[in-house]
Structure 1
Amino acid sequence: MIDLRSDTVTRPAPAMRAAMADAEVGDDVYGEDPTVRALENRVAALFGGRHAGLFTPTGVMANQIAVRLSVAPGEELVLDADAHIVAHEDGAAAWHGGIQTRTALSPRGLLEPADVGRLLRPGDAHTVGTRAVAVEQTHNRGGGSVYPIEQLRAIRELTADAGVALHCDGARIWHAHVATGTPLPAYGELFDTLAVCLSKGLGAPAGSVVLLPADRMAEARRMRHRMGGAMRQAGILAAGGLYALDHHIARLADDHVHARLIADALGDAGLDVVAPETNLVLVRLSEPRPDAATVAERCRAAGVLVSVFGPRLIRIVTHLDVDASAAAKAAEAVVEAAA
């Protein structure tokens, strides 16, 4: 099978497995796992060192901890209507945090500064006050779209003037860094909190890191504990993340090349493709073509897995387990399945 459903389906390479097996460990609930500490410090340093890092088992947990540090129950979080936090986290902000969300429809999921300015509100006896804005870099449902750094700076200026926090769901921020050349510290300086993933494009088996103000760390660790995310000898997982940081960032450019290879082949065959900026390819299936579920089932029969992303939308994601040959074969299968 050529699995293009997500970049979370990768398998740890033998060298990553060896690094995990050899990891020095301790009890992380006591703050005594040296490999976890090394990972947290490494990620914080990569983004400029103004934050402290907290390792979490999942990206959803990382996002939820981050937004709850800024938004209390009954307060408001502003974000794009297709943001992962509202579209793919099972209502966690409302369920766990009692957080109200206010959303805007944005081109490819990228909030426009004017929309942010319009949505921000201070709150009074009759309205809920905005306490944070969240952006997603890169944007999943936008097809891996990338916020230009100047657009993020404009949003930061608006939120700072309003006394509102700015969070980045940076699950795939590594892709934005490689695609645009924007230094990671340039992102780090903009946000009050970030959540960065190690198990998507970087290919670690699990884990994310929340970047947050150091003086909020005790509170964040307690939130993680309440969510069931306080692990013991977690250095075994953290070692996979450290290996990924050392070996898998620059190679993300290969995934972008393979995504364009697939998109070009599908476009040449007459399919409606959203031009990829990074490693995600969205394909719209207008009538009389079959619907997304039918195309996905036909692809599976041909040995290719894709995601159904809507009734007439499929998503294709390239990653480190897919080379150029597999990408070309997958494109052929999708073209045939969509005929």
Structure 2
Amino acid sequence: MNAFQVPIVDISPYTGAGDQADRRATAEAVDKACRTVGFIQIVGHRIPSDAIEGLTSAMDDFFSRPLGEKKKSTVAGVNRGYSAPKTEQLSLSLGVESATRMNDFFEAFNIGQGVDAYPDLDLPAAHYADNVWPDGVPGFPEKTQAWFAEAGRVARTLTSIFADALDLPPRYFDRFTDHSLDVLRMNNYALPPGEVDLDGGLTGMGEHTDYGIVTVLWADRVAGLQVLADDGSWHDVMPEPGALLVNLGDLTARWTNEVWKSTLHRVKPPVVNGRIERRRSAAYFHDGNVDALISTLPGMVEPGTTELYPPVTVADHISAKLAGSRSLVANANAEREALRVINSVG
């Protein structure tokens, strides 16, 4: 019986001591996971425990505030600040209308890299916007930015592993990521009783693929995350103690002509005794330079296959995705992913 599993890979040969043979073994394990699942549990990332504790305490301090106070950090038109419950629909990033039509009930807070991080470049402020910090939450900027730095380090370690796994020159992806459009999205899945109807379907976060190169995810060990297998069935995934979840985004699937997978996933929150059990996560999206052109890598169109995607800039791809999830304008350029949602079971 072939049970669905997200493989565990130790990346310590790339974050600490490790010889060439150790690195080769890690790269091969990553390659296998990217070809078969598109999700990996990574250990050996060397993120200190105080960074994780700082992140979670900052999230708790902010999300425990009254809704009206949290909404003061809402900023229209940029990928920063607070998103209230039921204001987004992730399935529309694929052009798929949610059957519940209630929008996703999670709430989130986003931070990212601003133009001041790259003073020598003329970058669009809409993509590299300044961060918005909530009033009355001591330490929030420092704690979340500390995690942002650690998750960014891990993401860049992963792209180094990707280059080795794909037999590309060392640090091949640096040219696409030296002013990467990176965002940390902190998510909270909890609503007071009476806020939602618990009968029928309930969506914490709708079916979607991630948009960029790679996502580094910290999550509570609480049920909810589900990943779509090749046979169209959904499977529960929970991180092992100390592990981070990593999944590929659309741009990597484009680079590899879907030899590596950008896997569909969703959050279906557990309901216990008529209440939604709280779940937290923090996703670091490593999306690439806004002006980078993404086209199929050499050697990725295998014999008997065709090139699946035309070249696209990071800016155009990310903008179309965000217009779906945030502005509720269905993305018309995600036919392949949309069909997988439509054909999924359950």
**TM-score, normalised with respect to structure 2:** 0.28
Larger Rg: 1
**Larger proportion of helix:** 1
Normalising by the residue count of structure 1, what TM-score does the alignment of the two structures yield? 0.29
